[in-house]
Amino acid sequence: MALLLTENDVKSVLTMPVAMELVETSFRRLADGSATCHPRRRLRMATKGVMNYMAATDLAGGYMGLKIYTVASGHARFVVPLFSAISGDLLALIEADYLGQMRTGAASGVATRTLAREDARTAGMIGTGLQARTQLLAVSHARKLELVLAFSRDRARREKFATEMTARIGVPVKAVDSAEEAAHGLDIVTTATNSAKPVVEGRWLTSGTHVNAIGINIADKREIDGEVVSRADVIAADSVEQTKIEAGDLIQAFGPDTSRWNSVLEISDIIAGKIPGRTNRDQITLFKSGGIAIEDVVVAGRVYEMAQELGLGKDVPIWQDALTAEA
């Protein structure tokens, strides 16, 4: 039997503090070699849609699995099949839209906790969609914010975001009229858009800023310009291997100079203390998040355990005939 967990099941157990703890655990396991992770791959559908898939093994946790999702006609559909890393049994099928939003936000939260100045108190949010909500939620758990400035192209949407997130995080969130206002002079800047062209320019940043660039994982698109990248004293990624394939923010900034990739660090190694991250308060730090499968698998494993403890989900008979025949 596999356990089917719906979006509502996941929402009932997965909080941001839990997600951040689990994502940090996933990075530590990458650093110590008890986890492995394959980069995202894409298959074009017969229409203009795309199927994406990414896999990982969490040997320390006892799980392996993958996230599969399709994007077609403006809709994305996510599922995580979770397997036992010991027996190979299918343990759960988990609807994973909310799970993905939470683990993506959590990754930026962990990166902010690792790289931003300890006294960071102001944040800028560019983009005000679903991902932006969990991004800001995570950043607010990473640092004691006092003010957030938010921008997106749609005035009504950004004002709604500001109202909702002020209530949610207990910190004033103010809608502003330009991306520059949501970046200039702020301690933490996060981009969560689907823009094909940069929405943040390096000249807007001041010394000591930490940037989370999370919205783009396509090589011919980017949210930050080349000056952001060139000004960054520390550049970290959740997976350098995956970043080389799909992170347009860095691919376009580096161009044909492949030696510049040597400056991109694994966030897992910084978290594990293998290499330094920020070493002084004036440095500009950049976290390029692509979203990697080990985050999904470690989070899914704990969601599965909590669901079992609470009696959530529905058992789905799968491969039962084969198991009966073997017996």
CATH code assigned at 270: 3.40.50.720
pLDDT band at 324 (very low <50, low <70, confident <90, very high): low
| 257 and 173 inside one domain | yes
Share of the chain above pLDDT 70, in %: 98
**Residue with tokens 């669901």, as numbered in its chain:** 307
Q: Could you tell me if 320 and 217 lie in one domain? A: no
pTM comes to 0.95
312 in the same domain as 264: no
Predicted local confidence at residue 297, as pLDDT: 98
Q: Are residues 140 and 189 in the same domain?
A: yes
Average pLDDT in the chain: 96
93 and 119 share a domain?
Answer: no
Q: Is 248 exposed, middle or buried (0-12, 13-18, 19+ CB in 10 A)?
A: buried
Across 240-304, the runs of DSSP E, i.e. the strands, are: 264-266, 285-288
Over the stretch 272-287, which tens digit does the pLDDT of each residue have? 999 999 999 999 999 9
Residue 51, pLDDT > 60, answer yes
| Confidence tier at 48 by pLDDT (50, 70, 90) | confident
| pLDDT the model gives residue 216 | 86
Residue 10 binned pLDDT confidence (cut-offs 50, 70, 90):
very high
Q: In what helix (H) or strand (E) does residue 11 lie, and over which residues does it extend?
A: helix 7-13
Same domain as 194, residue 140: yes
The pLDDT tens digits of the residues spanning 132-147 come to: 999 999 999 999 999 9
pLDDT by residue (tens digit) across 135-189?
Answer: 999 999 999 999 999 999 999 999 999 999 999 999 999 999 999 999 999 999 9
Assess contact for 293 and 55: CB atoms under 8 A. Answer: yes
- Alpha carbons 111 and 266: distance in angstroms, whole number: 11
Question: What CATH number did the domain enclosing 24 receive?
Answer: 3.30.1780.10
Number of domains in the chain: 2
Among residues 61, 57, 63, 56, which one has the least CA distance to residue 91? Answer: 63
Provide the token pair at 212. Answer: 């989370």
Instruction: Give residue 160's domain range.
Output: 108-288
Q: Which residues contact 311 (CB under 8 A, 6 or more apart)?
A: none
